[in-house]
Amino acid sequence: MRQYSKDPAVVASLSPEQYRVTQQGATEMPGTGEHLENDEPGIYVDIVSGEPLFASSDKFDSGCGWPSFTAPAVDSHVDEERDVSHGMVRTEVLCSKCNGHLGHVFEDGPGPTGLRYCINSAALKLQPK
């Protein structure tokens, strides 16, 4: 079984929304996330582990209400699991280092991947270039 690394002090310092999203698998309200309209260049890292997850250069406006990316910065930094909650079948995206919930990936994105990683802002921190 895979071992995950979470610093208890970091988890304790999360805002209620960050905790709800990353630790309980919740979804922030569409259109409310701090990174939705952010065009600043950099790398989005996991709010708990600091693991690099998504590059701003792969971010696009999908119109879905959450930050969207065409691909992870490093494939091995995210895990994907089948999610059958809420009466639908989706693919959940998790941080491979701390197992924190990030969002979901869908097969309706632009090229070159055709994927849309729909990620909660509450799970991310931007490290500007």
Task: Please choose, from the candidates 82, 73, 65, the residue with its C-alpha nearest in 3D space to the C-alpha of residue 121.
Answer: 65
**Do the beta carbons of residue 10 and residue 4 sit within 8 Å?**
no
Instruction: Give catalytic residues, as residue numbers.
Output: 118
Q: Which residues contact 62 (CB under 8 A, 6 or more apart)?
A: 68, 109, 116, 118
